[in-house]
Homo-oligomer: A and B are copies of this chain.
Amino acid sequence: MPTDRKALINDIRRFNRLYTGLIGLLDETFLHSAYTLTEARVLFELGRRPGHIAPVAGGKTGFLARALQLDLAPAASEIARALQLDAGYVIRILRKFSAAGLTETRSGPDVMRRRILSLTQRGLAALTSLQAAADRDLARLTAALGDEEAVELSDMLARLSSLLDTAVASDRLEMP
């Protein structure tokens, strides 16, 4: 292995340590909320998927939809995959949400298709409030940065995301 790769790996490890600590700090926001950390993540994930906010009436979840990468696939399993969580665990969280009136299953005439979830107004409100809290903390955290540094940081994060995406994607292809 070339030297620069060793250096890179070392740098990633160092950064990992730093960022893990930072995430720990930011997560406190959620711990002070009415939801657990994972519940919050699930809530965010529900909000991120338009298909779950406003499900297409009668939308098919079959081969075609999947091929087109439509976001209409069943909720629990998809969220579990996205967040790397156990499916059973996610189901329980979703049921808790449902019981709290945050989500609803707008089942059309076809009762079987019970899996498509959507956020209720109440769920959307909960999400918005969580987002606001998280934003407030991030604003506080980045308050010390100058305007130039802020822009620099944004640019780096974007580039970094792109690089990591490439890496992760090709890693996935190799070892599925």
Contacts and interface: CB of A to CB of B under 8 A. Distances in A.
Interface in A105-134: 134
Contacts of A60: none
A138 interface: yes
Interface residues of A, number: 59
Interface in A7-59: 7-9, 11-16, 18-26
Give the secondary structure class of A's interface: helix
Contacts of A168: 21-22, 25, 141
B171 A140 contact: yes
A34 to B, nearest CB: 20
A163 B25 CA distance: 16
A2 interface: yes
Contacts of A22: 164, 168
Interface in A129-173: 134-135, 138-145, 147, 149-154, 156-161, 163-171
A66 to B, nearest CB: 21
Contacts of A152: 159, 163
20 contacts: A4-B154, A8-B151, A9-B135, A9-B142, A11-B154, A12-B142, A12-B153, A13-B138, A14-B161, A15-B160, A16-B26, A18-B165, A21-B83, A22-B164, A24-B84, A25-B84, A140-B171, A145-B166, A152-B163, A156-B156
Interface of A: 1-2, 4-5, 7-9, 11-16, 18-26, 82-84, 134-135, 138-145, 147, 149-154, 156-161, 163-171, 174-175
